């Protein structure tokens, strides 16, 4: 459980931190550290977009945070350990937000083996290796690990051949980690965003009416913003979530509850 008071600020790793949800998470954790502990955060931020990562680091350092950046590709099996090793500059580790993600549009019949393997390596293998490398530090701090998954992990999403299967695997990986590592004092949860407007998804809403059509399906009638997911992460790692463990938190504005209402409904007759 993240403590309200400590001799250090919040010590965290965020992958996929340069843009979108990951960037919002990093900004939120820096603010949370000041609220919860009264001390600046100590953050390791990882992403393949080095320039944007450095710009974010400069912004957070200006607010007092201590930031280390790791520019690299999480499809490289050596990268997770390198990221966790960067946290050795701090006195420990309270949280790992395994957020890096990618999608390669293609139906199953046209998807390449290379793309399939890359998507699974970034979403599943990297999350496992991050957790394994950070296990000692997280156990010592009774810290937490949060995997950014997706509602696509529970709902097939064509034409993203590997995306939904990899997200489903992430959710099960989270549950496996929760069972195996809970006794070590590490809380593990997943965060499954719904339709979220980020630089990575913006192209999907450029066509006329696309955004309106999707928002009309969401009970809250709006797309999520990256900050909505950062707020959910804050809740999962925060001091009031100490008994939330092994849970896939769906943050979708109610979208996944709309299957039956989307069908043409019969005119029910009273008895």
Question: Residues 80-137: pLDDT tens digits?
Answer: 999 999 999 999 999 999 999 999 999 999 999 999 999 999 999 999 999 999 999 9
Question: Residues 134-161: pLDDT tens digits?
Answer: 999 999 999 999 999 999 999 999 999 9
Instruction: Based on the residue annotation, tell me whether 163 is a catalytic residue of this protein.
Output: yes
The yes/no answer on whether domain 11-251 falls in CATH 3.20.20.80 is no
Catalytic residue among 67, 163, 196, 197: 163
- DSSP 3-state assignment of 107? coil
Do residues 29 and 45 touch, judged by C-beta distance below 8 A? no
Mean per-residue pLDDT, 12-19: 98
CA distance 106 to 159: 5
Do residues 248 and 171 touch, judged by C-beta distance below 8 A? yes
- DSSP 3-state assignment of 66? strand
CA distance 113 to 123: 16
pTM above 0.75, yes or no: yes
Instruction: Kindly give the residue spans of alpha helices, DSSP state H, lying in 67-209.
Output: 79-86, 113-120, 126-141, 163-181
Residue located via tokens 């005119």: 267
Q: Which two tokens stand for residue 210?
A: 């696309």
Share of the chain above pLDDT 70, in %: 95
CA distance 248 to 232: 11
Q: Which residues contact 123 (CB under 8 A, 6 or more apart)?
A: 101, 102, 166, 167, 169, 170
Per domain, the residue ranges of the chain are 11-251
Say if residue 1's pLDDT is above 50: no
Question: Residues 67-78: pLDDT tens digits?
Answer: 999 999 999 999
Say if residue 5's pLDDT is above 50: no
DSSP secondary structure of 222-235: SPEEHHHHHHHHHH
pLDDT band at 259 (very low <50, low <70, confident <90, very high): confident
């Amino acid at each position: 459980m993240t403590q309200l008071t400590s001799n250090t600020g919040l010590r965290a790793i965020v992958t996929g931190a340069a843009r979108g949800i990951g960037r919002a998470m990093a900004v939120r954790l820096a603010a949370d550290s000041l609220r919860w502990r009264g001390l600046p955060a100590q953050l390791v931020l990882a992403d393949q977009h080095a320039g944007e990562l450095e710009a974010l680091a400069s912004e957070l350092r200006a607010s007092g945070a201590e930031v280390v950046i790791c520019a690299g590709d999480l499809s490289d099996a050596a990268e997770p350990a390198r990221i966790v090793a960067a946290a050795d500059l701090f006195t420990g580790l309270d949280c790992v937000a395994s957020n890096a993600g990618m999608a390669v549009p293609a139906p199953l019949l046209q998807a390449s083996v290379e793309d399939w393997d890359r998507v699974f390596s970034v979403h599943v293998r990297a999350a496992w290796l991050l957790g394994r490398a950070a296990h000692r530090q997280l156990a010592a701090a009774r810290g937490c690990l949060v995997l950014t998954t997706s509602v696509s992990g529970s709902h097939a999403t064509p034409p993203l051949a590997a995306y939904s299967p990899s997200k489903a695997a992430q959710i099960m990986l989270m549950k496996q980690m929760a069972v195996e590592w809970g006794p070590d004092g590490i809380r593990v949860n997943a965060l499954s965003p719904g339709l979220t407007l980020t630089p990575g998804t913006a192209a999907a809403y450029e066509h006329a009416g696309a955004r309106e059509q999707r928002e009309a399906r969401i009970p809250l009638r709006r797309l999520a913003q990256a900050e909505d997911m950062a707020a959910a992460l804050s809740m999962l790692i925060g001091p009031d979530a100490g008994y939330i463990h092994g849970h896939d938190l769906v943050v979708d504005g109610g979208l996944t509850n709309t299957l039956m209402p989307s069908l043409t409904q019969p005119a029910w007759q009273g008895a």
